[in-house]
Structure 1
């Protein structure tokens, strides 16, 4: 309140000075007057604010013309004031007029246009006109998604997440309205919202990298450069509003720029099936066309806030008898659900916990997470799941009901990162070799030459003397112990593949180098990597930055401006020797493959990637974005299905699971079925029948869309 009062006094002073210097109708004087009225409104001085807003609006209209953006701003501010004064009919009329002028003058995606639309939605909500409010919010959501697509493309890597956070309240308001209404239409809108927004950050990052790769092609470089320039112009014009060059035709200029961007994207899409698939528009109707093939359910979770309280909702599609219907599942207390998930993960990994304790905690998690889904889907046992938030690291199959039946026993689950995963795409599935890298020699001195290391050391010493760079930090603090079990696992798989006379490339010890993946001539059919995975925390001291994640409670949401794709990765030969020189040596073979580097690998159409390393399914959790880590990056790189781990498992347990899994896979079972059958069999084993062992690995993707079955 004190700051607002200070601001009011400041604007009074500024207004009086400009009034004396320029007169009452000068643009600067009117700007100060409008800002003063906005502060008065926030201080609750509503009558004073109304009088000043009306006077400012009248003068701006007379001086600047009805189509000036300052007139639009004053009209929006007046409409918002009427909401505060509970004069809702006047608010709706005023804000409808403001929205129409903003769209005409500034375009559909100018910040003032969004302000008008959000305020109009609030006015309709206050008047309890919820269906109308939902329609306004839905239109705003669609336009904001298009806006973000424009802006994120030309925004720095570390600023993109900040844009999404900035506009998250709009998303929350929309989903909150849908939760209030419920029913089939709300369920469909939730699914549509998820398709447009979930995973957007990584999708844009991947597309930017794809354009960079396409620009290396001499025949496409000019088109790629033209697309980049057109996108920058479009983003700039969207934010700026009319300029001296576009005055009176601003919306037409925006339309032409957007048409140009779409045309250039089409040209590049014809040259790259991966890029074409990435930019394709996906609707709930497309998912319906897949679901109708059999009785099944599609459950898409979305985390959101309502009134400052964390909540969770799921849009549900249910296919029965060739007909698809929609529903909504509400989770009013997300915090309790998250605590249950964290506790279950903790107990599963606790060697000191007895079976009854694990069972009881698993039943609590089942009641909170899975029971509401069961009430919506009924007897359907074939279920596609798209998690959000903490649910991305929940072993759904290990949830257990009061009859001590695990979900894996009662339901056939397909975990997806987005509804997009379910849809057929244009990828030509790779028929290349099996590529197996296992048990790297982390202390190898054969990866980077001594001359290169000495040169790097010299550059680093000079930088330190000049004060340019401090000591080791981040990735430079990495150090890994040998994994003899990983090498043994890899050799067992090699033997199984050889028995089936499959063509394979195998790399162990000193040969298990990062550059093997960076220099793939063609996408492998299957890639198996048995090594250390890692995830570094955003803010911690060097030695503590390796995220052990023995407790799910260690998961956190990162601060803005931080790129988690650079802090998740896989370790390869030579990393212990090279770590201190990371950044000063060639990144293609420095011993670390980050999740960001994965996006650039030649894996389009690879059928399956198996990340048989500790905690490769983990990463930084972003609400609405999933887990930023290796699993998602491999999928964005064009891999159909990815198997990764939720926690560290013993060598013996991992070998037992992988041996049986590959036995089934090589005998023609689709990857997801092979993993599920292996896990079901392990449950009956006295040695391996613990959730800690059999539920540690999960597969993400859909073999329907991947078509992955070894013939």
Structure 2
């Protein structure tokens, strides 16, 4: 009965009915203390909930007393390093902060973050990805409170160090696990890796299968069962990798980054974070260069900035939007996000975005003096700034894989569907995929450029560009170029995920290969998802170019980046990735890609530099042909990598 009352109280609390919530929590507390005794840890949970009711009433003295009682019980039951004890320290810390006791608040919150970090470092390597991300989400509450309590000028470097140690934790753990296991000769490990890849492919095939009402219940059960198998394999592989040393502070602190940036003249890092402050989400930025100390810049309410970015992106993706309207919306984004950073002198800007800002290309924002930021700065993007300190070196593969001119097995167009022949985006994976005429010419032009350099090229197109063929050819390729449709299946076109049946967000984005229009209940369905890509071994791959629309999108988890293709290729071992954030006209994409490879091959530029120069050429081409910069046609593509 106490659990029923507690759950009901939580509902009233969420609805803001504090009197009813407090009444029910007190009834639950009385029952639980009578049944379990006053010092049982299950009693501490009710005490903490009552403390939160007091906190909401702004009765901070009453809240503090309840939080202390809860913490005392938890520490006696679990020991001083348990995550629940960390939760109590966090609750106490934010209460002290409201009471004006800054010293006590900072001490409690510092202890809370220490406990949560220790829990993450101890547990994450043996968890499934879902479990690890859930643990990180919970611990993030302590980081947010830390950023609030430690927000003075003297605290900035310490606050940034804590952010660096937190951001990208799960992806680093998975990357390390993958590297260790991929080099193992243990037959049991190899068998588990093979089975994990096979299970991911089955999940992807079921999730993206065409809608069938009669099979939906059965399909959901299969997805749930396969997801459980996948997570079991991930936990077992975590155990098989052996102990992991997390004591590598030189790789994850601001001093190491500043030392690195001191060798990169004109380079600045902008680390963005969406965090909770005073019951609302805010954005902040840490700006770091090799010449001075780190700066902290508060950017205001997250919902307001996200709305500006969403409006801007909506216009960029609209074929009917005037350039003037796009630039006006871009001006509003620049004024809210870019101008406060004060980076006029920066030449190269490395951005680690978060939240809704992961879908933004800064290069396309209008400059305050006319033109675009592209003409003043070179941009690249990372999921975690610590990627700049990754010392792992892989032998570069030499072979080039070019995929394009794919036969999607075109059938009758569906009623009400407008074809995608003019762009490389697919609004939903249940739609019909039209041929990309420009893609075949794009592949031909790029192949000719590699032939000039005498580099071996493997081309896959037509009906031969199946999932199996591309998957097999990708391993061992130094450069991979995919010219096809991309997709990000948002809520409106999830075909088989009913509610929380399975945790597989990386199934919802990917690229389209041969046979996609005739897919059914078969393994080679032509829908190559990020989940499947993550099982590849691309250790020697220096560059992947996704010449397809919306390949940079996916579900976002704050602190971990985009759970989509950009994450999956990084987990597979790719060093650099070029991808897109919205749909781009087919012919414009072909010209941009040809210019990109000319810069790479003829002029010896890095992927980041090559994309920047190719975009500048596209900008000038647009100005010559139409009199406008038309950022929608070139700013969609971004470069991810150190």
The answer to whether the 8 Å contact 2:44/2:71 transfers is no
Q: What residue in structure 2 maps to residue 528 of structure 1?
A: 481
Please say if 1:672 is aligned against 2:640: no
One of 102, 106, 109 as aligned partner of 2:81:
109
Q: CA deviation at 1:277?
A: 13
Question: Within 5 A, what are the aligned runs for 1:380-395?
Answer: 380-395=346-361
Cα distance in 2, alignment partners of residues 39 and 370 from structure 1? 40
SS in structure 2 at match of 1:379: coil
Q: What residue in structure 2 maps to residue 611 of structure 1?
A: 546
* Counterparts in 2 of 1:288 and 1:37: CA distance versus 1, 3 Å: closer
Cα distance in 1, alignment partners of residues 445 and 132 from structure 2? 43
Cα distance in 2, alignment partners of residues 419 and 214 from structure 1? 26
| Structure 2 residues without counterparts, runs of 5 or longer | 1-18, 194-237, 412-426
How many pairs are equivalent?
556
Question: Within 5 A, what are the aligned runs for 1:59-74?
Answer: none
CA-based RMSD of the aligned residues comes to 4.0
Q: What residue in structure 2 maps to residue 683 of structure 1?
A: 619
* Counterparts in 2 of 1:382 and 1:183: CA distance versus 1, 3 Å: farther
Q: CA deviation at 1:325?
A: 0.9
Q: What residue in structure 2 maps to residue 630 of structure 1?
A: 565
Q: CA deviation at 1:698?
A: 0.9
Q: What residue in structure 2 maps to residue 596 of structure 1?
A: 531
Cα distance in 2, alignment partners of residues 607 and 121 from structure 1? 46
Higher Rg: 1
The answer to whether the 8 Å contact 1:436/1:527 transfers is yes
* Counterparts in 2 of 1:434 and 1:34: CA distance versus 1, 3 Å: closer
| Structure 1 residues without counterparts, runs of 5 or longer | 19-26, 46-80, 225-259, 270-275, 446-473, 546-557, 703-711
Which shifted more, 155-164 or 141-150?
155-164
Cα distance in 1, alignment partners of residues 592 and 53 from structure 2? 64
The answer to whether the 8 Å contact 2:45/2:70 transfers is no
Cα distance in 2, alignment partners of residues 132 and 37 from structure 1? 21
Cα distance in 2, alignment partners of residues 361 and 207 from structure 1? 41
Q: CA deviation at 1:527?
A: 0.7
What TM-score does the superposition give when structure 2 sets the normalisation length?
Answer: 0.76
* Counterparts in 2 of 1:97 and 1:632: CA distance versus 1, 3 Å: closer
The answer to whether the 8 Å contact 1:296/1:382 transfers is yes
Cα distance in 2, alignment partners of residues 91 and 14 from structure 1? 16
Q: CA deviation at 1:331?
A: 1.1
The answer to whether the 8 Å contact 1:441/1:510 transfers is yes
Q: CA deviation at 1:306?
A: 1.0
What TM-score does the superposition give when structure 1 sets the normalisation length?
Answer: 0.69
* Counterparts in 2 of 1:561 and 1:315: CA distance versus 1, 3 Å: farther
Q: CA deviation at 1:303?
A: 0.3
The answer to whether the 8 Å contact 1:296/1:318 transfers is yes
The answer to whether the 8 Å contact 1:184/1:326 transfers is no
Cα distance in 1, alignment partners of residues 243 and 290 from structure 2? 35
Cα distance in 2, alignment partners of residues 175 and 640 from structure 1? 31
Q: What residue in structure 2 maps to residue 554 of structure 1?
A: none
Question: Within 5 A, what are the aligned runs for 1:338-417?
Answer: 338-374=306-342, 377=343, 379-417=345-383
Q: What residue in structure 1 maps to residue 419 of structure 2?
A: none
Question: Within 5 A, what are the aligned runs for 1:162-311?
Answer: 162-178=134-150, 181-183=151-153, 185-186=155-156, 188-206=157-175, 217-218=186-187, 264-265=242-243, 282-293=252-263, 294-311=265-282
* Counterparts in 2 of 1:559 and 1:280: CA distance versus 1, 3 Å: farther
Cα distance in 1, alignment partners of residues 242 and 248 from structure 2? 15
Q: Could you list the per-position Cα deviations for residues 16-46 of structure 1 after superposition, in whole angstroms to 9, with x for gaps in the alignment?
A: 6x6xxxxxxxx6476598788778767769x
* Counterparts in 2 of 1:349 and 1:537: CA distance versus 1, 3 Å: closer
Which shifted more, 506-515 or 378-387?
378-387
Cα distance in 1, alignment partners of residues 279 and 363 from structure 2? 32
Q: CA deviation at 1:408?
A: 1.3
* Counterparts in 2 of 1:144 and 1:687: CA distance versus 1, 3 Å: farther
One of 447, 460, 466 as aligned partner of 1:494:
447
Q: Could you list the per-position Cα deviations for residues 341-382 of structure 1 after superposition, in whole angstroms to 9, with x for gaps in the alignment?
A: 1111122233333232222221111101100111xx463333
Please say if 1:700 is aligned against 2:640: yes
Cα distance in 2, alignment partners of residues 433 and 304 from structure 1? 43
Cα distance in 1, alignment partners of residues 613 and 580 from structure 2? 17
Cα distance in 1, alignment partners of residues 272 and 48 from structure 2? 38
